[in-house]
Amino acid sequence: MTTRVVGLDGDDTLWHSEGHYITTTERLGELLAPYLDDDGSDLDHARAVQHLTEVERRNLARFGYGVKAFTLSMIETAVEVSGARVSASEIQRILDWSKELLDHPVELIEGVQETVDRLAGSYQLLLVTKGDLLHQESKVARSGLVERFESVHIVSEKDPATYNRVLAGTGVAPQEFVMVGNSVRSDVLPVLELGARAVHVPYHTTWALETVEGELPAEAAHLDRIDELPEFLEST
Amino acid sequence: MTTRVVGLDGDDTLWHSEGHYITTTERLGELLAPYLDDDGSDLDHARAVQHLTEVERRNLARFGYGVKAFTLSMIETAVEVSGARVSASEIQRILDWSKELLDHPVELIEGVQETVDRLAGSYQLLLVTKGDLLHQESKVARSGLVERFESVHIVSEKDPATYNRVLAGTGVAPQEFVMVGNSVRSDVLPVLELGARAVHVPYHTTWALETVEGELPAEAAHLDRIDELPEFLEST
């Protein structure tokens, strides 16, 4: 069966996202470093950032993905790293960062607009993305791409069960589906498990909780840039 | 056309929700009252609670609904009401409340189990609920009701456009649909606007941001208890 339906991930596949989280994490590191040691050194900064990753991991099953979960984990990190000395104004600063993150304009990754335009002529396109429901909807709307997609699926976790539900709900067989995204953990492995195809298009940076050990499986394709996708799909 | 599909709201229609938010709001009032005046009186308590409603209203378009949005607004309220004097340990206490809210067992409202069982024999059932994606999914799963529903729709806002999308996506005409829920603003008005029917089953308390001015529209039905629903639908 040939590919009929292309699923595309949103954050860091169609538009920039992780960079904004990294900038905010850096700000948190700067804010907290002085609490760890008087000298506020790079080492203190790194320890604060590492603590945030631990708190996010601990909170993931409860809070899920997205800016609000990230912000609650930043606040918890601030309380813990400071030994409960962080001030209310510093907490407010963290809340202000969360609003900046939510308000940030959607910036498409280079090549996305032309690629999506071109794919839409030959395939049915599904957007499959995870994170805060409202924020993802807002990003999809502001991306200017929404009319190219047959349907948009904002999900709480990208596991085989989720992809199965999306495919069943849209009447698509795994054999006619290919998923494209930057996360091996979320966009590649669960899709291969269903017997569908997956194309990994890495972003220059990956969130610690999305990284996986080991190599990209042999069944997965790898492209350096999303604008290589139309030719790749035509040739395979 | 006769009713073929019944939409049911989740929070405060199928299971208890608002009561947990009210309990948490009361705790916040107690925590903040001493910051407003030395005597920590009932008036101070009420002012703190009122301030939370204002912050929630201001943050609604950005944060949306659900426990994480509520928690971020509680923290912002704590900073503001205390004049930035709230302590880090008090902030941590608020974070702990959010985890309690997310972990709280799902308690079905009296009559729900039998009503849903009975309705499922005669109608296609849709669950249409708003809030945190992950938390709502978790509540739906823990409710034990999920097999009774043809599909579950967790949405960021219950407006006519949303209901239109849900009905179009499931191939249901407005004339064969009735929505049942406790919120006039979210479960009744937008549904009537589409030309579908709506049944209001009030909960004993309603969140300030869900209240609407004026009477229930004449086209909407009103039932005191959800277990009156099967007979009502058969008789109309």
Q: Residue B38 — very low, low, confident or very high, per pLDDT cuts 50/70/90?
A: low
Structure pTM?
A: 0.93
Asked if B88 and A72 come within 8 Å (Cβ–Cβ), the reply is no
Q: Which of A68, A84, A103 is the last residue of a domain?
A: A103
Considering the domain architecture, whether residues B113 and B77 belong to the same structural domain is answered as: no
Specify the higher pLDDT residue, B42 or A25: A25
Using alpha carbons, list the distances in angstroms from residue A198 to A155, A181, A184: 18, 8, 9
Q: Which residues of B touch A135 (CB under 8 A)?
A: 64
**Residues A29-60: tens digit of each pLDDT:** 999 999 987 666 778 888 999 999 999 999 99
CB-based burial label for B128 (10 Å; 0-12, 13-18, 19+)? buried
Strand blocks (E) in B84-183: 124-130, 151-155, 177-181
A195 pLDDT more than 90: yes
Calculate mean pLDDT across residues B207-225: 86
A197 pLDDT more than 80: yes
How high is the pLDDT of residue A39?
67
From A134, A163, A131, A137, select the one nearest A149 (Cα to Cα).
A137
A205 pLDDT more than 90: no
From B202, B207, B210, B154, select the one nearest B18 (Cα to Cα).
B207
Considering the domain architecture, whether residues B150 and B223 belong to the same structural domain is answered as: yes
How high is the pLDDT of residue A209?
84
Range of the domain at B48: 18-103
Calculate mean pLDDT across residues B2-30: 96
Classify the phi-psi angles of B200: left when phi > 0, otherwise alpha if psi is within -120 to 50, otherwise beta.
beta
**Number of domains within chain A:** 2
Considering the domain architecture, whether residues B96 and B123 belong to the same structural domain is answered as: no
Extract the tokens encoding B64: 């949306």
SS3 B213: coil
Q: Which of B103, B134, B165 is the last residue of a domain?
A: B103
Q: Which of B70, B103, B136 is the last residue of a domain?
A: B103
Mean pLDDT check: name the lowest of A10-14, A96-100, B32-36.
B32-36
Q: Residue A175 — very low, low, confident or very high, per pLDDT cuts 50/70/90?
A: very high
A1 pLDDT more than 70: no
72-111 in B: which are within 8 Å (CB) of A? 72, 75-76, 78-79, 82, 84-89, 91-92, 95, 98-99, 102-103
How high is the pLDDT of residue A210?
80
- Best to test chain B binding among A55, A132, A149, A152 (most B CBs inside 10 Å): A132
How high is the pLDDT of residue A179?
98
How high is the pLDDT of residue B231?
97
Considering the domain architecture, whether residues B219 and B131 belong to the same structural domain is answered as: yes
Percent of chain B with pLDDT over 70: 98
How high is the pLDDT of residue B228?
97
Considering the domain architecture, whether residues A120 and A99 belong to the same structural domain is answered as: no
| Residue among A63, A88, A99 whose CB faces B62 most closely | A99
How high is the pLDDT of residue A221?
94
Considering the domain architecture, whether residues B86 and B160 belong to the same structural domain is answered as: no
Calculate mean pLDDT across residues B125-134: 95
How high is the pLDDT of residue A38?
62
Calculate mean pLDDT across residues A3-32: 96
From B185, B215, B221, select the one nearest B200 (Cα to Cα).
B221
How high is the pLDDT of residue B204?
85
Specify the higher pLDDT residue, A206 or A193: A193
Output the domain CATH number for residue A27.
Answer: 1.10.150.240
**Residues A133-154: tens digit of each pLDDT:** 999 999 999 999 999 999 999 9
Considering the domain architecture, whether residues B113 and B31 belong to the same structural domain is answered as: no
How high is the pLDDT of residue B159?
97
Q: Evaluate whether ipTM surpasses 0.90.
A: yes
B124 pLDDT more than 90: yes
Output the domain CATH number for residue A127.
Answer: 3.40.50.1000
Q: Residue A212 — very low, low, confident or very high, per pLDDT cuts 50/70/90?
A: confident
Tokens 């195809």 appear where? A197
Work out the mean pLDDT of chain B and round it to a whole number: 94
Considering the domain architecture, whether residues A94 and A31 belong to the same structural domain is answered as: yes
| Residue among A86, A89, A95 whose CB faces B72 most closely | A95
Specify the higher pLDDT residue, A26 or B41: A26
Helix (H) or strand (E) holding A49: helix A42-63
Considering the domain architecture, whether residues A12 and A27 belong to the same structural domain is answered as: no
Considering the domain architecture, whether residues A96 and A51 belong to the same structural domain is answered as: yes
